A and B are shown apart, each in its own frame.
Chain A
């Protein structure tokens, strides 16, 4: 019995270092400088170790910075010439998918250590160019050709959801209020002021029914995590390693209209099911859930797809307070995309870093009490790609 457990640890994959830049408008800092800051911080926590491989998560650099080939660029800029490096792109799920590729490499035993860095530099361009770059992750021939934006797509989903389930006005306010309450206590968050229902109700409509507080701001930032196999874990780590219990990903159609049920995130349902199965736990054992709340409707759909609420009832968890830090299933504990700020393809890496801090008991004022197992979910497009990971403390084994 004991031997099995040790063997499992040897083959397991752990997060042993995290680094994050504040999210915001970093006018005076370049893509590579942001990435370097996060990479250096994560490596420092891992004892300044050289990783064997670097995985970069990014979705917009080719369009906004006219820069592709980020694997080589960032590995070289951070002083790691000679190692292997690659960039992973899966729209908003790039972060989760980069983590998954690194996890697969380590779990296979072919790579022992890896550094994952998610980076996005949005302020290179004005809004119209950013919108044009963003919508390239939808179906170009059938969606963006009509002039749809990401927000417009999400708005149609939200409208249909409200219609089908007869949802009351302001039903989604609780998601935004929760995100801002937590973001207010996250030093890396872009928005650090709590909001109330009145603020939410007064907000300008962006794309009916999505208002300013339903939509996450897109901003600059970089996050990094250092992964190591159990058999190469350094002995004198400053913080307890966090185990990656399970990794899973699934896709749905890119175009929303191709889905039999456009108001259900089927890829999220698949990915969470597989992840729970691989981790051999049930949903009640999840202590917190980092949803990818690009829009408040995404939070509702993610909670429903994961099984925390029945279809059409996810918003009730926001209304009842179940999603707050001391609720039944805390979400967006560091502010989520709404208040921390959404960093495009880097968001999934922020989620992993934040979940690691929760599990290491390093979340400060936003610590989830007795956090042992967390679910993180990275979403690309309007639910087309979903990467899900389950992280836990070593003691939970």
Chain B
């Protein structure tokens, strides 16, 4: 790192990267027009086509285990060597009792490991990745597992109900020379911006409507992406792919365009029209779709957004090792194509929306 780059971005002492990655998306799909049919007589335009819905026996724990196993399959490492299991979500099944201990146990990472749950709205997953970069990059651990996974809540009839979906991804951080994609640098931009929140013991979140746009999503994403690219000396044209937090179809495309990216760069990672907003898993699962087709030498920009508010930006560089790994676990497209459509009534049952 030269002096003029001694700015705000973060680069670990020892180069690290993604040794393995894995996605998970549940099979059920609720078409947005179903939500519109029930609440708006079918008259309201819909922000996405359909969203992924977790089944009756699924939650953030089971889904995290699925994604972690896919990441392990690609990493081809002994899970006992994973020294941290960190799960970011806003749908942890327990308030007290970690998701991550169950995940760690299930994949065979216990007992010589840290385990903790992360909370930062939709960027809890990338926050865990940032911490894992530091943990492995400092030499304290060889491998660390970071997961972003959600079964997001949307109050029945609220605008968020169209998009609040389920899914996410797991990433194993480790030494750069074992990585499929090396982390070139990362950055985190945080302010106290109350755009979206859920107080303790409340079932559904509240939001500040249009306040969630300009001063929240757009300001934070552009700030973090620009700072990272400026300090790294990269520009949009240097990236083969870019993926952003995707709460709906419009926002990520608009912010990508504002930053100077083109549809060819963002389309691969833009999964929201087909799976919805999977919150803490949103940008991270978009990245898995990119990694599934990425070639050595490709550069990828990942930018998350979490309400409250903050944004993590990461610049990744795909290595030769990627080629041998694509087929070792289900691709994200496989999960998206594994699709069972449900109606609103089934959705209401699956998601515990009925109370008597």
Contact = CB atoms under 8 A, between A and B. Distances in A.
Interface of A: 25, 27-28, 123, 126-127, 204-205
Contacts of B327: none
Contact of A127 (B43, B45, B209): B209
Interface of B: 43, 45, 207-211, 214-215
**Majority secondary structure of chain A interface residues (helix, strand, loop or mixed):** loop
A27 B214 contact: yes
Contacts of A204: 45
A190 to B, nearest CB: 12
Q: Which of A27, A126, A127, A205 has the largest count of B CB atoms less than 10 A from its CB?
A: A27
Contacts of B210: 25, 123
Given A126-B208, A204-B45, 6 more contacts: A25-B210, A25-B214, A27-B211, A27-B215, A123-B211, A127-B209
A251 to B, nearest CB: 34
**Majority secondary structure of chain B interface residues (helix, strand, loop or mixed):** helix
A27 B191 CA distance: 15
Contacts of A25: 210, 214
Contacts of B211: 27, 123
B209 A126 contact: yes
A321 B45 CA distance: 33
A29 to B, nearest CB: 11
A30 to B, nearest CB: 14
B132 to A, nearest CB: 34
B68 to A, nearest CB: 38
The 7 closest A-B pairs by CB, nearest first: A27-B215, A126-B209, A127-B209, A27-B211, A126-B208, A25-B210, A28-B215
14 contacts: A25-B210, A25-B214, A27-B211, A27-B214, A27-B215, A28-B215, A123-B210, A123-B211, A126-B207, A126-B208, A126-B209, A127-B209, A204-B45, A205-B43
Q: Which of A28, A126, A204 has the largest count of B CB atoms less than 10 A from its CB?
A: A126
B193 to A, nearest CB: 9
Contacts of A27: 211, 214-215
A123 B214 CA distance: 13
A123 B216 CA distance: 14
Contacts of A127: 209
A162 to B, nearest CB: 21
A255 B263 CA distance: 53
B258 to A, nearest CB: 17
Contacts of B207: 126
A126 B196 CA distance: 12
A365 B215 CA distance: 31
A8 B209 CA distance: 53
B190 to A, nearest CB: 17
Contacts of A205: 43
Contacts of B215: 27-28
A15 to B, nearest CB: 34
A123 B195 CA distance: 12
A202 B45 CA distance: 12
A130 to B, nearest CB: 10
Nearest to A27: B215
A152 B99 CA distance: 48
A22 B209 CA distance: 21
B115 to A, nearest CB: 38
A251 B208 CA distance: 36
A202 to B, nearest CB: 11
Contacts of B43: 205
A215 B216 CA distance: 27
Contacts of A28: 215
Nearest to A128: B209
B206 to A, nearest CB: 8
B75 to A, nearest CB: 44
B169 to A, nearest CB: 32
Contacts of A126: 207-209
B217 to A, nearest CB: 13
Nearest to A127: B209
